[in-house]
Amino acid sequence: MRPLPFVILIVFLSTLIGMPTHSLAYSTSSHGWGYKKSTDHQAPDAGVYGGLVERYGGFYVDPTDEKVVYLTFDNGYEKGYTGKVLDILKKKEVPATFFITGHYINSAPDLVKRMVREGHIVGNHSWSHPDFASMNETRIKDELQKVEKAVADLTEQESMMYLRPPRGTFSEKSLAVTENLGYVTMFWSLAFVDWHTDAQKGWEYAYRSVMNQIHPGAVILLHTVSQDNAEALEKMIDEMRKQGYTFKSLDDLVMKRLLPNPISEHFGL
């Protein structure tokens, strides 16, 4: 079982209890997640989208400027490369989060089991990959609960905390709905077009696409259907570490917001 670390769970619940209620006048305007890519090793600015996501408890980057990165993968279907990705993560002792769909659970259950068994987080990417911005609360809840239940039935991970909205689309209302359901929305600050399985460009392209955008606090989005990513991943990890980066779990990112400096605050420093 990969339960939510106890201290995060306690602080997260206490934060929710004391959290102010948002206005019921939510905007239903649909947005697609986006930002100007980083080219100077600085975190990209997501503009009003970034503020909106943060308002509803979400993340797209670690704002602390520490040389830490968070590795995440979106898994809608299997193409034969996730096993190699897991092998590399195990060899390099790197934690990751895999955002999976209902199709992935049904078609690759052994890989889902392995993700959990090897200590990775399995996140929610919805059951059928719809556009949350066009859906009501009941339908969104159904999409998420089906994934959470299926993973709990299949593995020892009994609950889910992290959500990546399918298609990267959202509205203020969908962010409010998923926050009220107890999810932390996790967008990204580093990605590239890697999901076209018939248009792979070689591992060097994937490597350069990531390393040219790398920055402190990056939440990296990759797709495991990409052969290029699978072949470049170990080299990416080695080069990031050479540059002084460390790899952490999304649990560590949430902990920073809830307890930004718990020792200093405790002693009044």
Q: All domains of the chain, ordered by start, with CATH?
A: 45-266 (3.20.20.370)
In a structure prediction context, what are the per-residue pLDDT tens digits for the chain, which is 269 residues long? 344 454 455 445 544 444 444 544 566 777 878 788 878 899 998 888 899 999 999 999 999 989 999 999 999 999 999 999 999 999 999 999 999 999 999 999 999 999 999 999 999 999 999 999 999 999 999 999 999 999 999 999 999 999 999 998 999 999 999 999 999 999 999 999 999 999 999 999 999 999 999 999 999 999 999 999 999 999 999 999 999 999 999 999 999 887 755 444 444 44
User: How far, in Å, CA of 197 to CA of 151, rounded?
Assistant: 26
Active site residues: 74, 223
User: How far, in Å, CA of 165 to CA of 61, rounded?
Assistant: 16
| Model confidence, pTM | 0.88
